[in-house]
Chains A and B, each alone.
Chain A
Amino acid sequence: MLFQPAIIALLLASAVSVLLLVAATPYAWQLVRRWDIASGSELQLRLERRTYLMSTLLSFVFATQLVALLLFVFKADKMAVMFVGAMCAVGTLNANAYGFPALLAQIAVFFMAAVWLVLNHADSRAYDYPLVRVKYRLLMGILPFVLLAFALQLMYFLNLKADIITSCCGSLFSSDAQTLVSDASALPPQQGLWLFYGALLTVIAVAVLHARKLRAAYVVAAASAAAFVAALTGILSFVSLYVYEHPHHHCPFCLLKPEYDYQGYWLYLPLFAATAAGLGVGAIQPFARVPSLAAIVPQMSRRLAWIAALGFALFAAVATFMVADSNLILLKD
């Protein structure tokens, strides 16, 4: 199944990203060890020049990873027609053992890449590169995940056989199965509703508070992560039901299909962007006391907090609209 344009494109992007990162790692290591902004030695001069290349290269690689996630999900959804029993991305991802791990790894890389890009942005705005060491240490931390994501993707695509029968979302996201996602699906809509709106309102409130008063940065990050999970649970537990107007169809992927007017993208794009921005608020907070960042960090984290607040608000509004617009009546009071 390798000879498919999107698969070739994805593997190409991943492979090139891995190659670039691996090639950059020795230099990153050198930067971490030998970096000394106070020195005027030739080595330091070379390192300073090299950091331009590194940050451009890595920004590019990580930006690629952000798009790759979208492409991966889209491709998985498109391939559903090629597998017996598959009706959406769930079926294709289930076609072998590597599908869902590959997706999860790609999502993890997405958030790590986003955090790295935020740090890089802060660093590039200060005059004395205060975050060089942090950035490149982080890079070495991210590298294994990028490798893992690439390996899983490769294994996934190599092992795709069109003749196997995979299970469709109906069986994976049904309330009776004994898995974590089925627990989320089985969550009664009423509780799901509370959890969903509770978490979203909390994160919006905290983000707005941070944007105004610059307080509780770590809480914003934690709340964003929590809201991300709550939002996905909410989608599983009740939003999807309203969209499909079917009391037992809990699938979070069918939302992305043309039959439902690609509504899922309206949900997931703001959600991922807002979560990444919220995590970014927490990621730059430790460096607020660095003298050269003293003016930059508050400004950036304000902006990120606004992005997070607006993103989550948009997500909540879209979800609410879907529920209000639906003909399904799930809760009667």
Chain B
Amino acid sequence: MQIWIAKQKALIDFTLSSLARRKLKNLGLLLVYTVIVFLLASVMLYTHALRHEAAQVLKNSPEVIVQRMVAGRHDLIPPRYLEKLGRIRGVQHNEGRLWGYFYDNVVSANYTLMAPSQESHGFGQVADGKIVIGAAVARERGLAPGNLISFRSYTGKLFVFTVAAVLPHEAELVSADLLLLSEADFRAFFDIPAGYYNDIALSVANPQEVRNIAGKISEALPDARIILREEVLRTYESIFNWREGIVLVLLSGSILAFAIFAWEKASGLSAEEKREIGILKAIGWETGDVLKMKFWEGALVSLAAFLLGYVAAYLHVFHFSAALFEPVLKGWSVLYPRFELVPVVDGFQIVTLFFFTVFPYTVATIVPIWRAAITDPDAVMRG
């Protein structure tokens, strides 16, 4: 075993010095290789972080949301609906939610208005006449706690609120455009009569019961649209996977180009390299040894490119907000949340990335390497 290790060490040593002798050529290969790894790794890290973020956000959302449909459109929930749902077994509790959208002419953006209930979201109750605003709203309108803000409601009346607090920056992904107000203010602002709600959120303790409960709800309330958390999660998962896949397919052209490039590099041996192999074989190296040397060469280049590319992608995604891919992968809006993604690195992803980069490189270089390795010493030295 030790002899084997010593042999490999000597081979690596030789390979490194041989690589160093042809700096320019190998640096070029390394650069291209690194860029490829960087591009693919950026896409993967970014979508994975987004997916992770979505899953984190949805973890605390209710298991089931019930909306009422009228003529195929989302409508208000009338008072007796809540009682009907309360009797379904397996539902821990249900609450009517009040939320809506409001278009603000000043910043040309939509706000999400909400009247938080006691248990939801931990923001607590908001007193009448007060308002709690999201970080992006505060940024756009230049507001701070204590300031006054007025909105003209859809009924034409003017409402004035005092900013009680700005929501923390950490929660910006979900609360960038959020305005929280008291239930009474909310009802007055949108002119929603007492007892009516926008939708109903149900919590279900046992995840295996969710589908049964959904079935019961649709029987009890035939006009209801039932949205399950797992379905939302699944949709997000599909969308992000799909976007990631599409970008990777688009990038596959560059992988192919890279494989051709690697093939060319490996087969276009310079006269000097040929001579080197010829001399090695003349002094007693076997074809197998030359192959091993070339294998180490490929492994070292791949490893270096992989590490460099991956680290660069990590920095790009988590420190520079993935400036290159943001528009495709993230989507956009006027009040877009500013958020830093939580770094998530996944072993599975690294293996996948490995298949996308090192695998094509290796396939492309095997045959040229073999061609180089079987060179006859005399043919080279004579020529």
Q: Which residues of A contact B (CB under 8 A)?
A: 2-10, 12-13, 16, 20, 49, 52-53, 56-57, 60, 64, 67, 70-71, 74-75, 78, 81-84, 124, 162
In residues 1-51 of chain B, which contact A (Cβ within 8 Å)?
44
| CB atoms of B352 and A53 under 8 A apart | no
Residues of B contacting A9 in the complex (Cβ-Cβ under 8 angstroms) = 352, 355-356, 359
| CB atoms of B245 and A70 under 8 A apart | no
Of all chain A residues, the one with the shortest Cβ separation from B351 is A71
Complex Cα distance, B255 from A142, in Å, reads: 29
State whether A3 and B242 are in contact (beta carbons under 8 Å apart), knowing that A16-B359, A56-B366, A124-B288 are contacts in the complex. Answer: yes
How many cross-chain pairs have Cβ atoms below 8 Å apart between A and B? Answer: 87
| CB atoms of A5 and B245 under 8 A apart | yes
Interface size on B, residues (CB 8 A): 34
Residues of A contacting B245 in the complex (Cβ-Cβ under 8 angstroms) = 2-5, 7-8
Q: How far is the CB of B123 from chain A (nearest CB, A)?
A: 29
Residues of B contacting A5 in the complex (Cβ-Cβ under 8 angstroms) = 44, 241, 244-245, 248, 349, 352, 356
Q: Tell me if B362 counts as interface (CB < 8 A to partner A).
A: yes
Of all chain B residues, the one with the shortest Cβ separation from A162 is B238
Complex Cα distance, B349 from A71, in Å, reads: 10
Per DSSP, are chain A's interface residues mostly helix, strand or loop, or mixed?
Answer: helix
Q: Tell me if B226 counts as interface (CB < 8 A to partner A).
A: no
Task: Name the contact of A52 in the complex, choosing from B230, B237, B374 (C-beta under 8 A).
Answer: B374
Of all chain A residues, the one with the shortest Cβ separation from B243 is A3
Residues of B contacting A67 in the complex (Cβ-Cβ under 8 angstroms) = 351, 355
Q: How far is the CB of A92 from chain B (nearest CB, A)?
A: 12
| CB atoms of B287 and A49 under 8 A apart | yes
Of all chain B residues, the one with the shortest Cβ separation from A13 is B355
| CB atoms of A71 and B355 under 8 A apart | yes
Residues of A contacting B315 in the complex (Cβ-Cβ under 8 angstroms) = none
| CB atoms of B249 and A60 under 8 A apart | no
Complex Cα distance, B369 from A84, in Å, reads: 49
Besides A60-B362, A162-B238, 16 more A-B contacts (Cβ < 8 Å) are A3-B241, A3-B246, A4-B241, A4-B244, A5-B248, A8-B245, A12-B356, A12-B359, A16-B360, A16-B363, A52-B288, A67-B351, A71-B351, A71-B355, A82-B237, A84-B211
Q: Tell me if B233 counts as interface (CB < 8 A to partner A).
A: yes
Q: 21 interchain pairs (CB within 8 A)? A: A2-B245, A3-B241, A5-B241, A5-B349, A5-B352, A6-B348, A9-B355, A10-B355, A12-B359, A20-B363, A52-B287, A52-B291, A52-B370, A52-B374, A53-B366, A53-B370, A60-B363, A71-B351, A78-B348, A81-B230, A124-B288
